Chain A
């Protein structure tokens, strides 16, 4: 590229690294604090960044075990974090797989099969996708309140209801996968058709194997989205044993019962798996995000 004077270059390098390091310190500050708080005694955060009397109390509680303090008193876990995490994972997996199945099949149809009114339907899906489900919360509440009288499985406080609502989040993912299918050479499905394959067989044996990378991206994105949902879950779920992590975590920082230390340990514990999955998948996530978003 352009030749730069070595002295200018060195100053620029120092400036860039300096900026990066100061910025990172600011950005990573919350992470260090939470880690430190989780090892601190008590539930208030007075103390230095490196805990003076480190304790594992909050961690033991976060894993759901009783903790015996030095003076012999036994502390019980305030909330069932592991149960909440399991609820979140269960709902995320079920809804994620459902979304994946619906989105992949629909995307294939939108990309390859001739359907009347396809363009209009695609436009409609795109417009609807902009309306977040959170806006229809009042109706969702009323609907499931009424359905609960038919069967509690479909009513408030049920995981099934939550999964059904999450399935509606399929639109964005149809677009992402369709963008991927559009980039596959049409010669492939023509060849399959000449060999006598039905569209379903073409999908099942040609497109599905090809779509594995984009499907894993969509699955991770959908899964993370469902784990992160707060508004819908908070409206539909009421009892403590049915809560997801996002709904339950809030209880820790109640004005009248402020469990800062316990929250810190529980937060690290429950955030870790998702963070790891995300960091592994991030390269593919980016291409998935921008491909799906921009291909018209």
Chain B
């Protein structure tokens, strides 16, 4: 095998490459800096790491080989490994629709709220004054000193004539963020603020920041920041929304394991996830293998036609097939119930009865999945030596006996990794659950929404995205539990793969 040391790495001078690498690194570094400035230190750090990696790997000759895999490894690290770690991190926080913001944003939101005094409310206009602006209050006939409208600012008002030209309203609206930070003092001492798109008024703030972790309410109540719960609280412990994200340690996990309302349905969902994945693999494998064996039979004609027709369910995009079945199984006007009703006089409640909904999911998944198994089985069956089967048949073994003692043991080893992979796929088969039942019908009497047909992944998804109180933190915690299960499956697959590879190499 050729090694890097004795092959020329590149023809021609090195400087064009170094210039390119330098430029690329600069661009990445600038992007990282920009992200830091925008208060996204985490993403800044990731870009910084990419920039350093890029410079080292593409700059130094000794890492020549790594240049080829840098893009792939970077993509995997950034888009799989990082989100996975980030999800686990979220599992340890109270991130939810009640604790959505950062601490600084929470204070901003709270202190910007206020009660407008209607007596002082009056329209305003903005006049350009060189680089700066002046605020014109036509009702009081007051004009402000020039202000830059770049962040918080204050200015005095003085009686004046109307300015010669005023900005159009839409021009003024563009300055809104600057206007919001502006407070004006009239000659009589009242302080007025921007109270809406069109008016200035004296605003009594609901909360004033009076200390590093302290807000004072308009009625004098003192609120302190509780960094354990992520809320501002008064002495009685009453919380003022919105809250911010804080690290709550194992809190989410304690909820999962201790709250009966969560643990109960979760156990049910966990069991169903395993049953669903196992049954899906078993059914598709059995059906696919049976069909493949029949298609291999030398006396069968029209094999090509059968094969194409049998593959069709695999060829149609899954999301379309699943939605088609959703319609066909519809209780009131679905074709399946129409036919069942005509033939047997029954019309099952496929979507409202938990057991029937699970049966329906398995039927649809078998329909979707058997062609893949059939295609693979057709491939593997060809590698079973014909003379083994012949010898067994000459000894007087029946066709079934030949199949179970000769054929099956020979195709199971190469099939095993694929069966485990298929199990892992179904373990997280969100598309099917989501498009067919959305996890419904719901299990009655639970704290969090949990459905009879929910698998772990769809349950997590619903927790995070589907209900009113988006519980990202809890969803992250449950995701970590799923990760552990998936890690076990993928390790099993890894071992099975190795064995299959060794077996192949040994043959």
- Interface set of A (CB-CB < 8 Å, partner B): 1-2, 9, 12-13, 16-17, 19-20, 23-24, 27-28, 30-31, 33-34, 37, 44-46, 101-103, 105-106, 108-110, 113-115, 121, 123, 125-128, 130-143, 146-147, 149-150, 164-165, 167-168, 170-171, 174, 186, 189-190, 193, 196, 198-200, 203, 224, 227-231, 234-235, 245-246, 249-250, 252-253, 260, 263-264, 267, 270-271, 274-275, 278-279, 282, 285-287, 289-290, 293-296
Contacts and interface: CB of A to CB of B under 8 A. Distances in A.
Given A138-B87, A138-B90, A253-B326, A199 B64 contact: yes
B253 to A, nearest CB: 15
Given A2-B390, A133-B83, A186-B1, A27 B313 contact: yes
27 contacts: A12-B299, A13-B300, A24-B306, A27-B367, A33-B324, A45-B335, A46-B333, A102-B75, A106-B73, A130-B421, A132-B424, A132-B428, A133-B80, A137-B460, A137-B465, A138-B460, A150-B43, A167-B75, A168-B79, A230-B319, A231-B430, A246-B317, A253-B323, A253-B326, A253-B327, A296-B502, A296-B504
B246 to A, nearest CB: 15
A114 B325 contact: no
B501 interface: yes
The 9 residue pairs across chains A and B that have the minimum distance between CB atoms: A296-B501, A109-B68, A168-B79, A130-B490, A136-B83, A106-B72, A139-B86, A278-B315, A139-B83
A170 B76 contact: yes
Interface string B80-91: 111110110010
A275 B83 CA distance: 33
Contacts of A146: 40, 43
| Size bin of chain B's contact surface | 35 or more
Contacts of A282: 311, 315, 375
B323 A267 contact: yes
A186 B298 CA distance: 39
A275 B335 CA distance: 24
Contacts of B393: 1-2
Contacts of B73: 106, 121
Contacts of A108: 68
Contacts of B86: 136, 139, 142-143
Contacts of B323: 249-250, 252-253, 263, 267
A105 B497 contact: no
B318 interface: yes
A198 B311 contact: no
A287 B10 CA distance: 36
Contact of B299 (A13, A23, A193): A13
Interface in B423-440: 424-425, 428, 430-431, 434-435
A141 B482 CA distance: 18
Contacts of A275: 312, 315-317
Contact of A135 (B316, B457, B498, B504): B457
A102 B80 CA distance: 15
Contacts of A245: 317, 319
Given A13-B300, A27-B310, A128 B76 contact: yes
A287 B383 CA distance: 13
Contact of A1 (B1, B34, B294, B298): B298
Given A147-B43, A199-B7, A294-B417, A138 B464 contact: yes
Interface of B: 1-4, 6-11, 34-35, 38, 40, 43, 64-66, 68-69, 71-73, 75-76, 78-84, 86-87, 90, 95, 291, 294, 297-300, 306, 308-321, 323-328, 330, 333-335, 338, 367, 372, 375-376, 378-380, 386, 390, 393-394, 414, 417-418, 421, 424-425, 428, 430-431, 434-435, 457, 460-461, 464-465, 472, 475-476, 479, 482-483, 486-487, 489-491, 493-494, 497-498, 500-502, 504-505
Contacts of A138: 87, 90, 460, 464, 472, 475-476, 479
B312 A168 contact: no
A238 to B, nearest CB: 11
Contacts of B314: 278
Contact of A271 (B320, B378, B417): B320
A106 B215 CA distance: 55
Contacts of A224: 317
A114 B90 contact: no
* Most A CB within 10 A of own CB, among B72, B323, B327, B379: B72
A289 B375 contact: yes
Contacts of B81: 128
Contact of A249 (B3, B79, B320, B498): B320
A193 B376 contact: no
B72 A103 contact: yes
Contact of B317 (A17, A106, A227, A289): A227
Given A27-B310, A133-B80, A164-B79, A142 B90 contact: yes
A28 B312 CA distance: 8
A212 B464 CA distance: 42
B76 A125 contact: yes
B64 A134 contact: no
A140 B80 CA distance: 9
Contacts of B300: 13, 16-17
Contacts of A165: 79
A287 B379 contact: yes
A193 B2 contact: yes
A270 B310 CA distance: 21
B321 A130 contact: no
A135 B84 contact: yes
B7 A193 contact: yes
Contacts of A9: 299
Contacts of B417: 293-294
A239 B294 CA distance: 48
A235 B83 CA distance: 14
